[in-house]
A and B are shown apart, each in its own frame.
Chain A
Amino acid sequence: MSAKAVELILLRQLLSRLPLPATLVDADETVIYFNPATERLLGLDWETMGERPLSYLPEVVNPRQSDDSAMGVDDMPLAKALHERRPQQYRMIIHDSQGIRRRIVTTAIPLDGQGGTLLGALNFFWEENEAQEPVMP
């Protein structure tokens, strides 16, 4: 058993305290954490679910593109951030544990350590409120 990278440890501590939903994935494409804000939004329980491969996420949240077309796991922002090592800003649809559709905006970023090591990826996401469009200068 090896300890997680310190960046992931610190991020988990931070994310656990933030009111913004967030998910953490390691370089092996394992979902290693989602925070209480995510639990509240999606009706999930981290302790019950535990670490799972990223490929499991579609079964949990049934992601769709913003036009409601299919979204495979490799199209998910977290996966794209990992594979392309580029941040991703996305509008998409996910479903909570009750099957309710939620339109969300997400930013997924690859987590590169200062030594150039790919540590994983992190996404923040929030429900898109159509009455308040994000500012896009």
Chain B
Amino acid sequence: MSGPPIELLLLKQVSGYLAMPVFLVDEDGGLEYYNEPAEELLGLRYEETGQIPLEVWGKLWAPTDAEGRQLAPDELPVAVAVRERRPVLGEVSIRRPDGSHRQITITALPFEAADGTQLGAFALFWES
């Protein structure tokens, strides 16, 4: 059977139905997809970003930690989740394209198919 893994199809489809922001990265941390509620919180439609590498999207929202320290892309919870293949919790402050700031709480989870294929990671996040 050709096409994307069924787990990816299911996650994208159910994300399209939920009011919870969902953010998905591939096995290299590259941006794969985020849903409409995520667009609302991030202030940027997915169509405006597309599938871009971690080094690029990781700076788009100028994320900082609780002390105001700028976070490098590979320090972001979802990047840690995909690299270390473990769940990660975090709180991050972001700057939206309109200049406003949001404090967000994140649960980042490694994303693996039933056959063991590494698919990346996905984050559930919400305004703190």
Chain A interface residues (CB < 8 Å from chain B): 6-7, 10-11, 13-14, 17-20, 86-87, 89, 105, 107, 109-114, 116, 124, 126, 132, 134-137
Contacts and interface: CB of A to CB of B under 8 A. Distances in A.
A83 to B, nearest CB: 16
A113 B19 contact: yes
A136 B90 contact: yes
A7 B35 CA distance: 14
Interface of B: 6-7, 10-11, 13-14, 17-20, 36, 65-66, 69, 71, 75, 77, 80, 84, 86-92, 105, 107, 109-114, 124, 126
17 contacts: A6-B17, A10-B13, A17-B10, A87-B126, A105-B89, A107-B107, A110-B20, A111-B20, A112-B18, A113-B18, A114-B19, A124-B107, A124-B109, A134-B90, A135-B77, A135-B88, A137-B71
Contacts, number: 90
A135 B86 CA distance: 10
Given A14-B7, A89-B89, A135-B75, 10 more contacts: A17-B114, A87-B107, A87-B124, A89-B107, A105-B89, A109-B126, A113-B19, A134-B90, A135-B90, A137-B65
